Structure 1
Amino acid sequence: MIVRHHLGEDDELARHLTHQLNTPLDWPGDAGLNTEHVAKIAVAAACDISYNEAANGHLVDLFAALPLPGTSEGADFWAALTSAGGDAALYIDPANAGGPFFNYLLNGNEGGIAGRVLSFFEKLDDHQRDAVADVIGGALGHDTFVAGGRYLGKLWLRDAETSAWHVLLAGRRTYETENDRKRFLKAWSDA
């Protein structure tokens, strides 16, 4: 997979390169970078992109395992999910979320989509969560996934919830968390 990442002034990677590594964005110029510095830049770029891309891609993959909207199987599945999850299901229902729901996620609006997924989970009561697990577990391909039924549904729910959390966590910016981290490390050392 080829990843293209364009740097803008407000980009997390650009801030990391300029503030943490003291690297000008218009390099090479007369920057005088050495191999070690270039290696650190490569590592920073890989970490920034891979963590965000992995979290976002995994969330999309979880939903891609479900019956597709616009198909008869998908219509039945989403109707059953809405029945099982009540109003909470509206947060992730394709008809309510809109066609480009996951395109937003893949194109950089991670927090909004992940927030909707987490709102779905937050609004489910225990009874609804069990019912949703049954619907999802029943829809997952048993030939692909060895287990079946509610157990698969529960695994899917846990994974989707954790993945949405990872998407939000990956969206936190260093400049937003740097002081928090310093205070934490200081308090931890002094404890």
Structure 2
Amino acid sequence: MIIPRFLDDDSELARHVAQQLNTPLDWPEDGGLTTGHVAKIASAAACDVSYNQAANGHLIDLFAALPLPGTPDGDKFWGALGNAGGNAALYIDPGNMGGPTFDRLARGNEAGIADRVLSFLSELDDQQREAVTRVIGDALAHDTLLAGGRYLGQLWLRDAETTAWHVLLAKRRLIETQDDRERFLEAWGNA
């Protein structure tokens, strides 16, 4: 999780929720769930869910920037990417990933695409990575006047790699974060 779940009742978010709901922070008095509690719940939910959805959405956007499979440009692009990346390119080949893959990603199957992207990139040798960079960059260059193809390919690969890592890290955080953080804070507090 990006922000701490430890919010006091007078946090900025709690004050915002109280203002939006037109309630005092401790409303209802002697009630089980106060405006401050609602703010804490909103913070935790927004952080966990939004971070995963944003990273997954960004992976979809990265692939959406590439030529579409099943089109003449897409068929040429994906064929060239397969030639450049060899067997590693099979991890992200549309025929191997299948159409429902991105639907599952959009609905929360975070690790599936991220694993494929990182496996693809980790199996490329230096020559293949350079060739893949050029194929992706050339495909992206026709839509922009900002930079040359090779540079755009490098940016796409770095962005895909970092985003996939964020997805996997966020997925891990949902499962292991609380215990890890407590151990971390204790260890560093005792250092």
* SS of corresponding position for 1:40: helix
Report which stretch shifted further, 105-114 or 124-133. 105-114
Identity of aligned residues (%): 71
Deviations 1:32-61 (A, max 9, x none): 211111111112221122101100000000
Q: CA deviation at 1:98?
A: 1.2
Q: Which consecutive aligned stretches of 4+ in structure 1 deviate over 4 angstroms post-superposition?
A: none
Moved more, 143-152 or 153-162: 143-152
Paired residues in the alignment total 165
Structure 1 residues 106 and 95, CA, compared in 2 at 3 Å: closer, same or farther? same
| 1:49-108 deviation line (CA, Å, top 9, x unaligned) | 210110000000000000000000000000000000000000000011112121121122
5+ residue gaps, structure 2, are 6-29
Distance 2:103 2:49 in 1: 17
Structure 1: stretches of 5+ with no match in the other structure: 1-11, 17-29
CA distance in structure 1 between the partners assigned to 2:78 and 2:143 by the alignment: 21
Report the Cα offset of residue 153 of structure 1.
0.1
- For the pair shown, the structure with the greater C-alpha radius of gyration is 2
CA contact (8 A) 1:142 1:148 kept: no
Alignment partner of 2:172: what SS? coil
Give the Cα separation in 1 of the matches to 2:169 and 2:145.
28
Distance in 2, matches of 1:135 and 1:104, equals: 27
Structure 2 length-normalised TM: 0.80
Structure 1 pair 145/89, CA: closer, same or farther in 2 (3 Å)? farther
Moved more, 66-75 or 94-103: 94-103
Corresponding residue SS for 1:171 = helix
> Paired residue for 1:108?
108
Moved more, 93-102 or 137-146: 137-146
